[in-house]
């Protein structure tokens, strides 16, 4: 049984200063009203160009981001590896729909893939699909059987960009994960990802799609994809997450009067999450599995299932992952037990990753018990070090 309460292992790579900063950050985040007012204040500061780097960079940015550039992230990558954990560089500049910004994001993501090929501490690359097309076109292409010409044209550009990223990843043999976002863009993205899987996953899983198990139709989708892959003789790279946009999904479904795509309750999400892990691990010869969660039970469940099914702990087809700055007790304790663990390390210029940081703060305020769990563990470690 893995002991996630071992704070000695969880925080071994953290200095006393790191621990104090993390404790301070989680304490601040534990006040929802503070997070609520911080968001508009930061937006106003950005609009009037009031300098905020001096306060953001040593605090929330240092807690959740690796640095402003790929090179800046090297110390973080090296340090994580000292604790047995790998890194996945995540260029976290949030989508702008300008052609120039899309091309810039494409160049940066290609750079990350090239860099990963030269750095053995980076086993995966990742991108957000909405960074590479106008969202309105993704929505039309996902829902309409008769899309307009502009959307078709935009879809073609998206297809080329995603194809280029997957091809580069294939060339370097570095797996690439495509994040999942709002359900109304997902159908078209799923089709594109499946096409690239069929093309590049013949020998092993290079291209990974993301299954958000808070959607009640994802278990069925997973099985359908499995059948397609079997028939097409390719592997499925499956990244599992619960899903980050529940409130938005429910609200839109209600406003527009269509069936809510989200599971009726948390238990149903948890049930399908475990079912998906079980299904893919039991069929591991057809899959590579990436378990992206901060949930201790889901992490323990997969670890125990791997042992039960006699899948070696360091099998390169099975990975656990958490975000940088969060749930170190899961990452480092799993790594110590010999499992493959990689953290998403977001990076980018401070002002551009602010939306990412605000979402982390809001998520930690709203995900039940997460902040108090981090605070409890950090306090425990402070006391242990004092002793
Ligand atoms: C490495 C990594 C990569 C990620 N990539 C993505 C991504 O590509 N796309 C994405 O959407 N998210 C992504 N996430 C975020 C993820 O989807 C979750 O929002 C986050 O991890 C919290 O879920 P959990 O499994 O950690 O734990 P938990 O705290 O156990 O679960 C919270 C989640 O359960 C679900 N939930 C809560 N209440 C209910 C309810 N009443 N009914 C139904 N479901 C409910 C929601 O999804 C909620 O976020 C990623 C997370 C990690 C760690």
CATH, residue 255 = 3.20.20.220
Write down the pLDDT at residue 240.
Answer: 98
Residues 225-235 have a mean pLDDT of 98
Average confidence score pLDDT of the chain: 93
CA-closest residue to ligand 1 atom 19: 244
Tens digits of residue pLDDT in 310-361: 999 999 999 999 999 999 999 999 999 999 999 999 999 988 888 888 877 7
Give the separation between CA 224 and CA 247, rounded to whole angstroms: 27
- Which domain does 372 fall in, by range? 1-65+353-387
- Provide the pLDDT confidence category of residue 271 given band limits of 50, 70 and 90: very high
Decide if pLDDT at 366 tops 70.
Answer: no
Residues 65-82 have a mean pLDDT of 96
- Provide the pLDDT confidence category of residue 37 given band limits of 50, 70 and 90: confident
User: Does ligand 1 lie within 6 Å of residue 87's CB atom?
Assistant: no
Residues 6-34 have a mean pLDDT of 91
Same domain, 279 and 307: yes
User: Does ligand 1 lie within 6 Å of residue 215's CB atom?
Assistant: no
Domain count, the chain: 2
Centre of ligand 1 to C-alpha 241, Å, is 6
User: Does ligand 1 lie within 6 Å of residue 321's CB atom?
Assistant: yes
Tens digits of residue pLDDT in 123-170: 999 999 999 999 999 999 999 889 999 999 999 999 999 999 999 999
Same domain, 37 and 58: yes
Task: Work out which ligand 1 atom sits closest to the CA atom of 367.
Answer: 29
Write down the pLDDT at residue 60.
Answer: 85
Smallest Cα–Cα separation from 161: which of 104, 219, 232, 82? Answer: 104
Decide if pLDDT at 23 tops 70.
Answer: yes
Same domain, 230 and 320: yes
User: Does ligand 1 lie within 6 Å of residue 243's CB atom?
Assistant: yes
Residues 168-179 have a mean pLDDT of 98
Same domain, 128 and 29: no
Residues 302-308 have a mean pLDDT of 98
User: Does ligand 1 lie within 6 Å of residue 325's CB atom?
Assistant: no
User: Does ligand 1 lie within 6 Å of residue 193's CB atom?
Assistant: no
Same domain, 44 and 181: no
Same domain, 127 and 236: yes
User: Does ligand 1 lie within 6 Å of residue 56's CB atom?
Assistant: no
Same domain, 12 and 115: no
- Provide the pLDDT confidence category of residue 362 given band limits of 50, 70 and 90: confident
Write down the pLDDT at residue 33.
Answer: 83
Which of 242, 272, 276, 367 to mutate for ligand 1's pocket (most ligand atoms within 8 Å of CB)? 242
Same domain, 42 and 80: no
Residues 163-180 have a mean pLDDT of 98
Q: Are 89 and 347 in contact (CB under 8 A)?
A: yes
Same domain, 218 and 341: yes
Same domain, 177 and 77: yes
Same domain, 135 and 153: yes
> What tokens does 58 get?
């040593």
Write down the pLDDT at residue 59.
Answer: 84
Residues 105-115 have a mean pLDDT of 97
User: Does ligand 1 lie within 6 Å of residue 367's CB atom?
Assistant: yes
> What tokens does 176 get?
């690439």
Strands 207-212 and 236-241: parallel
Residues 96-102 have a mean pLDDT of 87
Centre of ligand 1 to C-alpha 378, Å, is 23
> What tokens does 387 get?
């002793």
The one-character DSSP state at 88 is E
* 166: exposed, middle or buried (Cβ count in 10 Å: 0-12, 13-18, 19+): buried
Centre of ligand 1 to C-alpha 240, Å, is 9
Which of 244, 290, 321, 334 to mutate for ligand 1's pocket (most ligand atoms within 8 Å of CB)? 244
Decide if pLDDT at 96 tops 80.
Answer: no
Write down the pLDDT at residue 368.
Answer: 60
Decide if pLDDT at 46 tops 80.
Answer: no
Same domain, 226 and 262: yes
Give the separation between CA 184 and CA 252, rounded to whole angstroms: 10
């Amino acid at each position: 049984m893995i002991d996630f309460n071992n704070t000695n292992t969880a925080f071994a790579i953290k200095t006393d200063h790191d621990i104090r900063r993390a404790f301070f950050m989680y304490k601040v985040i534990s006040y929802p009203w503070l997070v609520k007012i911080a968001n508009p204040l930061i937006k106003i500061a950005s609009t009037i160009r009031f300098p905020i780097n001096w306060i953001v960079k040593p605090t929330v940015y240092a807690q959740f981001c690796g640095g402003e550039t790929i090179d800046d992230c090297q110390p973080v990558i090296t340090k994580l590896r000292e604790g047995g954990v790998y890194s996945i560089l995540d260029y976290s500049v949030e989508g702008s729909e300008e052609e120039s910004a899309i091309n810039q994001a494409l160049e940066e993501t290609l750079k990350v893939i090239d860099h990963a090929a030269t750095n053995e501490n980076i086993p995966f690359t990742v991108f957000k699909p909405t960074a590479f097309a106008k969202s309105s076109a993704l929505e039309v292409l996902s829902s309409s059987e008769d899309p307009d010409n502009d959307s078709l044209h935009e879809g073609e550009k998206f297809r080329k960009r995603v194809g280029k990223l997957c091809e580069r990843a294939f060339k370097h043999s570095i797996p690439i994960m495509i994040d999942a976002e709002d359900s109304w863009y997902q159908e078209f993205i799923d089709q594109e990802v499946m096409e690239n899987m069929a093309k590049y996953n013949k020998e092993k899983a290079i291209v990974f799609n993301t299954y958000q198990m808070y959607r009640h139709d994802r278990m069925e989708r997973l099985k359908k994809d499995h059948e397609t892959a079997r028939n097409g003789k390719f592997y499925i790279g499956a990244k599992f997450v619960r899903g980050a946009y529940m409130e938005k999904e429910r609200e839109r479904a209600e406003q527009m009067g269509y069936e809510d795509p989200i599971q009726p309750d948390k238990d149903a999400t948890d049930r399908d999450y475990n079912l998906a892990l079980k299904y893919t691990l039991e069929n591991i010869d057809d899959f590579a599995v990436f378990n992206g969660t901060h949930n201790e039970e889901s992490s323990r469940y997969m670890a125990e299932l791997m042992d039960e099914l006699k899948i070696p702990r360091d099998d390169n087809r099975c990975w656990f992952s958490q975000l940088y700055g969060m749930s170190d007790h899961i990452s480092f304790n799993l790594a110590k037990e010999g499992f493959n663990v990689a953290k998403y390390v977001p990076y980018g210029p401070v002002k551009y990753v602010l939306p990412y940081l605000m979402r982390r703060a809001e998520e930690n305020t709203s995900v039940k018990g997460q902040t108090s769990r981090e605070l409890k563990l950090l306090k425990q470690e402070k006391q242990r070090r004092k002793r």
